[in-house]
């Protein structure tokens, strides 16, 4: 089980945008060449893609920090900084991406196109953009904006139409090996299967379904006992459950009590999962002693649940084909595999208006923050008079000073905006 990773936490950061350049054209016989600072390049995005060849998050065992390249700084003579390449992160189909701090769902990487999770910062403008008839030699440029960063929790929930559930050693792995090309480890002892196994089942004419063999459950699995708790998540998407039971009672267990216990564990883990339709695969019928077995009670119990019963022998192949046909026919009436909707909306790459300005007074100093304000501050050269005038004009034009007064700031108060300190005087 140590080699099977199905949940992990990682850190990702998109690249920062390159800074714009402050430069002036210099050429013989041209006395006023004008500003020629180029723009910075965009930072690289962090992009998640589905890798069909992966079925585990094992690649994240040793690497848990992913940082995209920064964009190149702008150059002289209007040269544009290089745009950084995207950082591609491949994950298995069915990987759910959540915010590690809040647990909110960001993206379900299931049968989808590549997803840009963290946007790279935009490149800053060079001083060529700030030239006006009255400001012909601007000595400031915009810095690039920061790339987005996230602490993420990745969780693999396999994409399977059908999930095999049941007690250990009832024949789930043998059944999967009989109906698909999957080759799980098979042995006559409990917990032979240590990891979920997927198999593609061909019923007829190229039509079929995907089945998952989930390691055996035991009583208390929903509370973390045994192996079942770790892998119950992999049947959460399954449209149909095939409940494999040892109808022969070869290990001295009662198949009815086994079913009750397994269904109780499913219910404790997820009421929605427990409500999924089931087909009972009564396995090991080739060694069933029909004279001593209470078949009528078993069938009556299954009928009370509304679950059809198919008697099979996974070892000999008896009735296995019929089970596959029953499963396939049932799937035609069920909704498609669940794809989870995101709970977090993608943030815009660049703020267009100051909608989130906050003011907090600590130790006599007002700390003014906001995404738009941070973006504006990155473009200001506070050592240049023209740049300061631009800053003052933007603050007044967007009503930031008025907003600060509404939040309680008064004339003469000390202000801190992203480590730039000044006295508030209008």
Query: pLDDT digit string (tens) for 94-125?
Result: 899 999 999 899 999 998 999 999 999 989 88
| Cα distance between residue 281 and residue 240, in whole Å | 13
Mean pLDDT, rounded, for 379-391: 77
| Cα distance between residue 147 and residue 149, in whole Å | 7
Q: Chain-centre distance of CA 206, in angstroms? A: 32
Confidence band, pLDDT 50/70/90 cuts, at residue 222: very low
| Cα distance between residue 322 and residue 317, in whole Å | 10
DSSP class of residue 285?
G
pLDDT at 187: 45
Max mean pLDDT among 11-15, 187-191, 203-207, 254-258 falls in 11-15
| Cα distance between residue 86 and residue 59, in whole Å | 19
Q: Where are the beta strands (DSSP E) in 296-400?
A: 309-311, 358-362, 365-369
pLDDT at 348 over 80: no
Three-state DSSP state, 221: helix
pLDDT at 400 over 50: yes
pLDDT at 86 over 50: yes
Point out the least confidently predicted range of 57-61, 174-178, 187-191, 380-384.
Answer: 187-191
Tell the CATH topology of 162-331. Rossmann fold (3.40.50)
Radius of gyration of the chain (CA): 31
**Of all helices (H) and strands (E), which one includes residue 245?**
strand 240-246
Helices (H) and strands (E) in the chain, counts: 9, 18
pLDDT at 145 over 70: yes
pLDDT at 292: 63
**Superfamily covering domain 358-423:** GTP-binding protein OBG, C-terminal domain (3.30.300.350)
Q: Which of 138, 12, 149 is nearest to 67 (CA)?
A: 12
Q: Model-level pTM?
A: 0.72
Query: Do 1-156 and 358-423 have matching folds?
Result: no
Residue 347 buriedness (CB in 10 A; 0-12 / 13-18 / 19+) = exposed
pLDDT single digits (tens) 249-308: 877 788 999 899 888 888 887 888 888 999 999 999 888 876 666 788 999 999 999 999
Query: For domain 1-156, which architecture applies?
Result: Distorted Sandwich (2.70)
pLDDT at 217: 61
pLDDT at 337 over 50: yes
Confidence band, pLDDT 50/70/90 cuts, at residue 192: very low
pLDDT at 54 over 90: no
What residue spans define the domains of the chain? 1-156, 162-331, 358-423
Mean pLDDT of the residues in the chain = 83
Contacts of residue 34, defined as CB under 8 A and 6 or more positions apart, other chains included, come to: 24, 25, 128, 131, 136, 137
Q: Which of 321, 262, 312 is nearest to 284 (CA)?
A: 312
Instruction: Between 337 and 223, name the one with better pLDDT.
Output: 337
| Cα distance between residue 179 and residue 107, in whole Å | 33
Residue 380 buriedness (CB in 10 A; 0-12 / 13-18 / 19+) = buried
What percent of the chain is helix, strand and coil (3-state, nearest 5)?
Answer: 25, 25, 55
């Amino acid at each position: 089980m140590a080699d099977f990773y199905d949940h992990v936490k990682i850190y990702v950061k998109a690249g920062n945008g390159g800074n714009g350049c402050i430069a002036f054209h210099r050429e013989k016989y041209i006395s006023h060449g004008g500003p020629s600072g180029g723009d910075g390049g965009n930072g690289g995005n962090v992009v998640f893609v589905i890798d069909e060849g992966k079925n585990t998050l094992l690649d994240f065992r040793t690497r848990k920090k992913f940082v995209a390249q920064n964009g190149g700084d702008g150059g002289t003579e209007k040269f544009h900084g290089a745009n950084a390449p995207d950082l591609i992160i491949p994950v298995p189909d069915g990987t759910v991406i959540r915010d590690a701090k809040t647990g909110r769902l960001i993206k379900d990487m299931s049968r989808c196109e590549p997803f840009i999770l963290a946007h790279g910062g935009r490149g800053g403008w060079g001083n060529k953009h700030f030239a006006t008839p009255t400001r012909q030699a601007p000595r400031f440029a915009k810095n690039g904006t920061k790339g987005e960063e996230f602490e993420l929790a990745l969780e693999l929930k396999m994409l399977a139409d059908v999930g095999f559930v049941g007690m250990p050693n009832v024949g789930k792995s043998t059944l999967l090996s009989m109906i698909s090309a999957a080759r799980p480890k098979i042995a006559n002892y409990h917990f032979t299967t240590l990891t979920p196994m997927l198999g593609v089942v061909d019923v007829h004419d190229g039509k079929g379904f995907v089945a998952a063999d989930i390691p055996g459950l035991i009583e208390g699995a929903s509370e973390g006992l045994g192996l079942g708790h770790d892998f119950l998540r992999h049947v959460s998407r399954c449209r149909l459950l095939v409940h494999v039971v040892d109808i022969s009672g070869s290990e001295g267990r009662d198949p009815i009590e086994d079913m009750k216990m397994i269904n109780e564990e499913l219910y404790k883990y997820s009421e929605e999962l427990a409500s999924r339709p089931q087909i009972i695969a009564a396995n090991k019928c080739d060694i069933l002693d029909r004279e001593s077995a209470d078949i009528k009670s078993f069938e009556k119990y299954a009928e009370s649940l509304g679950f059809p019963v198919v008697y099979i022998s996974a070892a000999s192949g008896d009735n296995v084909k019929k089970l596959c046909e029953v499963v396939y026919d049932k799937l035609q009436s069920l909704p498609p595999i669940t794809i989870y909707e995101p709970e977090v909306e993608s943030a815009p790459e660049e703020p267009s208006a100051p909608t989130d300005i906050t003011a907090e007074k600590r130790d006599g100093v007002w700390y003014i923050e906001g995404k738009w304000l941070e973006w504006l501050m990155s473009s200001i050269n506070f050592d240049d008079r023209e740049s300061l005038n631009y800053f003052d004009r933007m603050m007044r034009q967007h009503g930031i000073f008025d907003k600060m007064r509404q939040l309680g700031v008064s004339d003469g108060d000390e202000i801190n905006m992203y480590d730039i300190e000044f006295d508030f005087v209008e």
